[in-house]
Amino acid sequence: MNNIELSTKLPANRLIEKSGENEYYNLLKKHIEIAKNEICNHTFYLREEKSDLIIGKNLPPPIIAEIVNCTEKDNSKILQKTRHYIESGAEIIDIGCVSNKSNPERIKEIIKLIRSEYRVLISIDSMDSQEINAAVEEDIDLILSLDLGNYKDFLNLPKNIPIVILPTNLKKAYFPKEPEIRIQNLFKLTKELQKNGFEKLIADPLLETPISPGMCNSLETYFLYKKQIVLESYKKLELPLFFGISNVVELMDIDSVGINGLLASIATEIDIGILFTVEHSPKLFGGVRELKDSIKLNYLAKYKKTPPINQGISLFKAKGKIIQKVPPFGEYNADVVDKLNTNYISDEKGYFRIYTNLIEKKIYVLFYSNKEILLHTFIGEDAEALSKNIIKQDLTRDIYHLNYLGRELKKAEISVLYGKPYIQDE
């Protein structure tokens, strides 16, 4: 970071960010070349004939982003979500199925739909045999998931399809809690599937929700897997690990950016193979981008052997590291404004309603007459540009109304920038 050449056009913080990104991609390129020469059961191409994506040892984990209840969504919503996920950094789009509502024909339609518009790997999240077989007929790129209860139903699947395996038997409602049993179940299932010729397996020790049932127990399972796999008797069973972080992020009323950052540091530290997340609710919006940037930050730190700080990549949203310097001034002649004037006089010209579209990254400004007739519509991304255009249209000359409009537009712009829900006047 000390060798950055300053620019007259770009601010220093943007140059530092760019430098961090460049360092990350140079490091990634180096480790991909190493991985190409170490292809085996723990490091492999997901679908070499379609993509150069490799998962495994010493590589940053790619992101699977799920479209929840995908089979019940219309085509336009599916494509919109797919585009958003790809632009946010997801490498794999997951078709989230609906439990106990098998819909194999819709699975086929969705795979064809996504591939007609985007060149991206696709996975299916289902344990229903009809849906999985339908996906296989359309050459699905990854299957979530097989376990001890259903794997025998799928022994005739193509052996080069990557498959996530679980330590459960959901047919019998068997969900082991003890880390040791989960690991032994994963080893047992790995042996069975390897014996039947399956080449690309991914182990999911299951990351559970905080407090109840508890995250620490499941993290212990991941750590135990890593300790066991170095033993001679288990080395041939080593698989890349699956980390379903949405189980944690989704069930906490805490801003997602910090949780994503912490989980990304754990994933990087224990060399997780692949990450799984969703943006199903408003509080999770932007999570894929947060997770992607968090992986970059932590991956850089890992190979520099430092904590994930001062790497040129940061994810501050509500807080930051910069302190504003206040010049010396006298307060004796200052106007002290400590009360808000709540007296409201309506503008005779009309009123503004402001809305945001987080996926499209747009701000909508609608101007109505006081008789609730829509008079003018503005669409944009930049608060200043919108406010200047509105002033130019001479819709109102009420300075208090214009002051209010500028304030709300800036709030809307910040909401779009950070993926935060915007409600006017809140």
pLDDT category of residue 350 using cuts at 50, 70 and 90: very high
Q: What one-character DSSP code corresponds to residue 57?
A: T
| Region 61-65 average pLDDT | 98
Q: How many CB atoms lie within 10 A of CB 312?
A: 20
* pLDDT at residue 3 greater than cutoff 70: no
| Region 120-139 average pLDDT | 96
Give Cα 306 to chain centroid, integer Å: 25
* pLDDT at residue 14 greater than cutoff 60: no
pLDDT of residue 276: 98
pLDDT category of residue 17 using cuts at 50, 70 and 90: low
pLDDT of residue 13: 54
Domain ranges of the chain: 12-304, 351-418
| Region 168-174 average pLDDT | 95
pLDDT of residue 335: 85
pLDDT of residue 5: 58
* pLDDT at residue 15 greater than cutoff 80: no
* pLDDT at residue 319 greater than cutoff 90: no
Is CATH 3.20.20.20 what the domain over 12-304 is classified as, yes or no?
Answer: yes
Give the largest CA-CA distance in the chain: 84
Q: What are the residues facing 351 on neighbouring strands?
A: 368
* pLDDT at residue 16 greater than cutoff 80: no
* pTM for the full predicted model: 0.88
Q: What are the residues facing 354 on neighbouring strands?
A: 365
Structure token digits, residue 6: 């300053």
| Region 266-279 average pLDDT | 97
Is residue 81 within 8 A of residue 110, CB to CB? The reply is no
Is residue 51 within 8 A of residue 32, CB to CB? The reply is no
* pLDDT at residue 12 greater than cutoff 60: no
Q: Pick the closest to residue 69 from 145, 31, 126 (CA basis).
A: 126
pLDDT tens profile 277-305: 999 988 899 999 999 999 999 999 999 99
pLDDT of residue 6: 52
Q: What are the residues facing 374 on neighbouring strands?
A: 368
* pLDDT at residue 232 greater than cutoff 80: yes
pLDDT tens profile 75-126: 999 999 999 999 999 999 999 999 889 999 999 999 999 999 999 999 999 9
| Region 259-273 average pLDDT | 97
Please report, to the nearest 10 degrees, the dihedral formed by the alpha carbons of residues 21, 22, 25, 31 taken in order.
-120
Report d(CA 19, CA 314) in Å as an integer: 12
As a whole-number percent, the residues of the chain with pLDDT over 70 amount to 96
* pLDDT at residue 128 greater than cutoff 60: yes
Q: Which of 16-25, 280-289, 372-381, 407-416 has the lowest mean pLDDT?
A: 16-25
Q: Which of 126-135, 331-340, 408-417 has the lowest mean pLDDT?
A: 331-340
* pLDDT at residue 7 greater than cutoff 60: no
* pLDDT at residue 11 greater than cutoff 80: no
